[in-house]
Structure 1
């Protein structure tokens, strides 16, 4: 039997999804108690993550019955969110540097099995990612990430200047961080976990208010832009940059849900403190993925846009296919260990702690 929690009543589905752009936790609140005896959601059109799609009706890949729920096997239950204050550690992170592999109008999370259905995406990491990608097809595959064990798929809407597609050059910085104050409680992603960060249908105000918003669009000395700046300094050292953070608290039950977001949540503030902890509805602390992207474009930016629309339509997708032992070693050494690690799991300010991976970025 599939585990179904936080299922949305059909009449509330569309409005709840649109309302969710400001905070992932809103869907669970709108859903009410789970009805374990409810029948499968029928074809319900809703606008979500920038796509008009029929939810819970596409059987494909890892979701054989097409209801949109992919259960974690086994589920992670009995977890109490940590409210403890850990030993001081300014950093608790590592990098997964991954280069662009290809572009395509595919989205294996939102439109599984439907080639050419989405707007154009720029893919990084796993070289095989396409509309038909599944956990099995990605796992152990070729990758442009420095660590061969990271066969995960990362993607975002493609950037254009007029009709010219602009691709990031070289390894892009993808951080894995602690999103909660008690960094010692963070555990590795479950194999096959996937989610969408942000919503291409969001307004500029909603993008600025998104819990994953960091510094907005940047170029030169211009920061905190919700849209792509109209111009950037025409210098070789100037690129267009953007950072955005993913939710890092998991419900422990699903690798995906019909909206591709409600199984995840951003941390909440512990009452009476400035500490972040996972909410009871999503008690499992996972690494916080942060995209730090750079596009080689500057000067007149008036024709620069995303395949999904204006700059504030930015969003991205993550599909975990790390080799389990390697990911656990990196999380334990760098995040739980309170270090600032490079893609080898090495903190140059703490050389005595050593590295996780060898010179070939492999686990010894």
Structure 2
């Protein structure tokens, strides 16, 4: 397994000499969102969550001290990472949740998310996230390319094989993908240095003033502190839905996010920091690459056993006549002439 993991990482980031890349198995999937809808059960739309078992409708206080297990490979990472859930909409208008599948090199994991923390691309050090730090990237209300361009590098990869890492698009892929659809979620890498969690959960972070984190672009004066690049890869196993005869008759792609987005432009991700002690800063300072002897690890099997029970009693897995919560589907369909030609 280790050889395939290292090989995959080399393909993903050949210019990087330091990064953490690890798997976090599924913790729970349901309509909860302690950032946007704290205390509400249910929240607006379905999310899939990984990480520590302190996750609940409202999260306050010190996260690591409230968790007793984590689904992540690094045993001191009790953070929570989550995204929306993808659904297939059949020709008759019904919906079916698309299952997740583990990434290449993490086949023993229970679905989940592949997490990256990249400390530097040019030798500059970063400041690890602090206790109480939280952030959101992307906006679920966006339905146009122009809106989506406000957030850099929230993309999709149509996987022709497990190792495909080219051809990223900002909209949902419009052709059958042989090995599923991967959502790529890259967070901003500059921090104002003082705010842990503003009301909008995003104004305290920013993208580089010019260029990108990868190119060593400088941070803006308003957000001078460089933080690690946090990056999610989520693979949706769309293979059972690749038969175009069950796709919409107009040739548009059939996948819809749980918040009703069929364009893909509303792609977004949420993060609650929960590393124990200074473990993450140690990893960032020692330029760990994939494996990190300074950090405690646990097996996939141990991580797979960490779960929290669902709070909301509703069907999110069967064939549904509407998205959970009654969320309407919005966005312009992809026309046949723009779709993949068989």
Q: Under a length normalisation based on structure 2, what TM-score does the superposition of the two structures give?
A: 0.66
Aligned to 1:318: 271
Of 232, 255, 279, the residue aligned with 1:304 is 255
* Offset, 1:109: 0.9
- For the residues of structure 2 that align with 1:357 and 1:181, how far apart are their CA atoms? 21
Q: Is the 8 A contact 2:181 2:237 kept in 1?
A: yes
Superposed, 1:237-276 pairs within 5 Å as 238-269=179-210, 275-276=216-217
* Greater fraction strand: 1
- For the residues of structure 2 that align with 1:105 and 1:171, how far apart are their CA atoms? 16
Superposed, 1:31-42 pairs within 5 Å as none
**With CA pairs under 8 Å and 6+ residues apart, which has the higher RCO, 1 or 2?**
2
What do residues 317-357 of structure 1 show as CA deviations (whole Å, max 9, x unaligned)?
Answer: 000011122112211112xxxx5x22x42xxxxxxxxx323
Aligned to 2:23: 97
Aligned to 1:227: 171
Of 78, 99, 102, the residue aligned with 1:167 is 99
Q: Under a length normalisation based on structure 1, what TM-score does the superposition of the two structures give?
A: 0.63
Of 124, 127, 130, the residue aligned with 2:56 is 130
Query: 5+ residue gaps in structure 1?
Result: 1-88, 346-354
Helix, strand or coil at the partner of 1:329: helix
Report the RMSD for the aligned CA atoms in angstroms.
Answer: 2.5
- For the residues of structure 2 that align with 1:252 and 1:171, how far apart are their CA atoms? 30
- Shift of the 327–160 alpha-carbon distance from structure 1 to 2, 3 Å rule, reads same
- For the residues of structure 1 that align with 2:202 and 2:158, how far apart are their CA atoms? 26
- Shift of the 158–360 alpha-carbon distance from structure 1 to 2, 3 Å rule, reads closer
Query: 5+ residue gaps in structure 2?
Result: 1-14, 90-94, 102-110, 248-252, 300-342
- Shift of the 135–182 alpha-carbon distance from structure 1 to 2, 3 Å rule, reads farther
- For the residues of structure 1 that align with 2:210 and 2:121, how far apart are their CA atoms? 10
- Shift of the 131–214 alpha-carbon distance from structure 1 to 2, 3 Å rule, reads closer
